[in-house]
Amino acid sequence: MRATVESMIMLQNRPALYVDADSCPVKEEIDRVCLKHAIVPQYVATINHYSPNSEYGDWKIIDDADQAVDLFILNRVKRGDIVITQDLSFAVLLTSRGVYAITPRGKLIEEADADEIMLRKHLRQKTQKRGNRIKGPPPLLEQDRLNFQDKLDDFLSKHEGIL
């Protein structure tokens, strides 16, 4: 079957789904949902964090430099693309560019969240400078994985017209 010019243009203009793959805990869930929606996720990881446990998707392996993955993604995303990341500060930056940012717990970060996210980051940094230990997020449970998978599936289903 021959692809029409219109269908080729639609594929070229189709939003991409990038994954900040350094320590991403939901790669299998991303693969499952992306297969269902015929989307090829773009995994981006540094050489030191590459773990080939994802059998689907396109992997970009880059040098291990500070913020290398964020910069790689930032230089390639366009308005309407989707990025899955745990880095909330990065997510805020993405939303300001019209990019959808989703956490591995399934939360869609919005521009309205920016002030609170940046304030929390500032307070965390102040606490760390004083030498106080800060607890990280709670461990990711199976229910969290299922929640992420459902939220990503719902998000992609609602945006099928643009994907």
What are the two backbone dihedrals, phi and then psi, of residue 153, each rounded to the nearest 5 degrees? -60, -45
Looking at residue 102, its pLDDT comes to 96
Residue 22 in domain? yes
Q: Can you give the residue range of the structural domain that contains 133?
A: 15-157
| DSSP alpha helix (H) spans, the chain | 5-13, 27-36, 68-74, 88-95, 114-129, 142-158
What pLDDT is recorded for position 117? 61
Answer whether residue 133 is part of any domain.
yes
Residue 96 included in any domain: yes
- How are the residues of the chain apportioned to helix, strand and coil, as percentages rounded to the nearest 5? 45, 15, 45
Residue 5: Cβ-neighbour burial (10 angstroms; 0-12, 13-18, 19+): exposed
Q: Is residue 29 part of a domain?
A: yes
Assign residue 130 the CATH number of its domain. 3.40.50
Q: Is 6 a domain residue?
A: no
CA 4, distance to chain mean position in Å, is 31
Residue 2 lies in a domain: no
Considering its fold, how many domains does the chain have in total? 1
Residue 8, in any domain of the structure: no
Per-residue pLDDT in tens (0 to 9) along the chain, 163 residues: 445 544 444 455 678 999 999 889 999 999 999 999 999 999 999 998 777 666 788 999 999 898 999 999 999 999 999 999 999 889 998 999 999 999 999 999 887 766 676 557 556 666 667 777 777 778 899 999 999 999 999 999 988 654 4
Position 137 scores a pLDDT of 75
Any domain includes 48? yes
How many Å is the Cα radius of gyration of the chain? 17
